[in-house]
Structure 1
Amino acid sequence: MLGRWLQPASVRVRPLREEDRSAALELCAVDPVASVLAAVQVEQLGRRRMPGAELLGLWQEGRLRALCWSGANLVPVAVDEPELVDAVAEHVRGRGRRASSIVGPAEQVLPLWDLLGPSWLPAREVRADQPSMAISGPPALDPDPRVRLSRVDELDVVVPACVAMFTEEVGYSPVASGGAYAARVHELVTTERSYVRIEDAPEGRRVVFKAEVGACALGVAQIQGVWVHPEHRGEGIAAPAMAAVVEDVRRRTAPTVSLYVNGYNAAALATYRRTGFEQVGTYATVLF
């Protein structure tokens, strides 16, 4: 009997409801940079429904201990103890793989993948070392004044640049399965979360730099999709361009700007450090 009481209380998993929003946001606020991807979904609890997706809460002794967004991506928050990892894995394993990636803090993603890997299809790639970086003050160098918000009438050049970035980064074209990706780019442009530098070229106008605010919650804006046109790499464009993005995002959107980058991408790491970003953690991504 004594051994039974020494065991940790069982973890209960259930979808979060609107009345759970405050407790879930409090959990995300412990580390808002690490939690921003899931916090976006927490802020929408009870306000919109996404078919096939759910925000899971992990409860222990009546207290919300952790959560996990299970949608297009699997995103854990505070799933940092073995019993919590086990509970998430058991729940999502039985439903089969629906996510295109598992992404979040490395110390949560990698143990989760260790449990899910044997029963899910092999991953295309496991990126175990992705420095998570943030800046909460002015950029460390002068911003490029040519970097600005994208316009809807520029989608004819913005969408191809976004497709090129995604294909280069992930390894396949995002438009192969339909028009959802172009719709997402359109949404980012119309909500003033898409930044570009566009110049004339022999073939016409083209994007030479781009970046987007891919997620924003709890005072943190996460930059995604940073890309420089291949013909302009090595010209020193990226750091001043990122400084312009940081300056405008901090002024209009959120006081802290974050991003994560592959650890092997020395050029990108140097660019972000020049801009004033500092490493605050480590992400990992499992791509399917």
Structure 2
Amino acid sequence: MQETTYDIGGTKIYAAETGVGPPLLLLHGGGPGASGVSNYARNIAELAEEYRVIVPDLPGYGRSTKGIDGSDPFGYLANRIRGLLDELGLDKAHLVGNSYGGAAALRLALDTPGRVDRMVLMGPGGVGTTRALPTPGLNCLLNYYTGDGPSRRKLERFIRNYLVFNAADVPESAIEERYQASIDPEVIAAPPLQRPSGRGALRTLWKMDFTRDARLSRLPVPTLVLWGAQDKVNRPSGGRMLAERMPNCDLYQVANTGHWVQFERAQLFNRMCAGFLAGRR
């Protein structure tokens, strides 16, 4: 796997790349200690049989620059991923986004639909998450760096109780790897996923809520939404809302699955993702 760090307007973005074929970016979720390769550990090799798979660490995570623009998080991420496409010399690419990465993909598609070929979203953020009280899982995620600060116990509780449907699916080694990444001093100093606060907090929440974006009903990008029926982080009802609002959106609700569809149901995900992006039904 080729590894490169790109400079996108002063933001360093690390990306791993493998495979040959149409370009496909995999955008990871925003849980503590997340990174691109770890998020898609069960998907990269199989998708690379058909696609040029590019897996960045989003700003704030992994080996990329820490800290983001908290006044418009999804817009900031979308701008940096678009800059990565420019740096790679790609006019257009497929996007796959999980949770936080799904929100980044959707925002990029809304801002510049001509840059996105097809898109797969798994439990994307910003879909009804700001209009009601946060789910227990989202609360657990947002509280990770508050109170008594990060701990392995807090991270394990989030992953086993809220991220997945079957807690036994996640090995201890994966939790330890994410915990060590989550306590990087640069991350602790500027956690990438926080509750908006202070002046402008309401405006930030509005920017992070796609249900308020009229462009959603005009988005031409063919989209597949995969949502775990037992998702405790982002409500599965968000999937139905996207399918009703977006003109070219297919929805597949995955039984006995939580927030991490690509990990918990890897075989199903890999097959559906590869087929949809290639235009196969």
TM-score calculated relative to the size of structure 1? 0.31
Higher normalized contact order (CA 8 Å, seq sep 6+, divided by chain length)? 1
Bigger Cα Rg: 1
Whichever structure has more strand as a proportion of its residues is: 1
